[in-house]
Amino acid sequence: MTAYGRGQVIVSTTNELQGFRVVRYLGLVRGLTVRSRSVVGTIGAGFQSVVGGRITLFTSLAEKSREEAYQLMTEHAVAMGANAVLAMRYDTNEITQGITEVLAYGTAVLVESVQVN
């Protein structure tokens, strides 16, 4: 078996991991978070949009949301006994104006190292 500490998983957007063999497919794992923009953040982002360029307040919110969804997904994978997640993806949806869900999902698997001769 691979030598990963408890709670650590390999996450890949690919369907295979070079140097590893899938021993068992455990199923879909996901992490979901729902975030809203604050009034202050929305006003600040409005000022940034007038100037043009990168809107850092929304970029920060999006990054925090993705990180939280990713963390929840990996926790779900560990709870299922996985040491890797394959075909990982993000999906987002605006539930209502100013409130967005972010979903991280993939296939939880148990992998082991493949010995190269």
Can you list the domains of the chain with their CATH numbers?
Answer: 10-37+63-113 (3.30.110.70)
Kindly state the tokens that stand for 98.
């100013």
If DSSP codes are grouped into helix, strand and coil, which group holds residue 99? strand
State residue 40's pLDDT score.
Answer: 47
pTM of the model: 0.78
List Cα–Cα distances, 64 to 24, 34, 42, 105, 109, in angstroms. 31, 11, 16, 16, 26
State residue 13's pLDDT score.
Answer: 97
What residue ranges of the chain have pLDDT lower than 50?
1-4, 39-41, 44-45, 47
Rounded CA-CA distance 94/84 in Å is: 29
State residue 57's pLDDT score.
Answer: 66
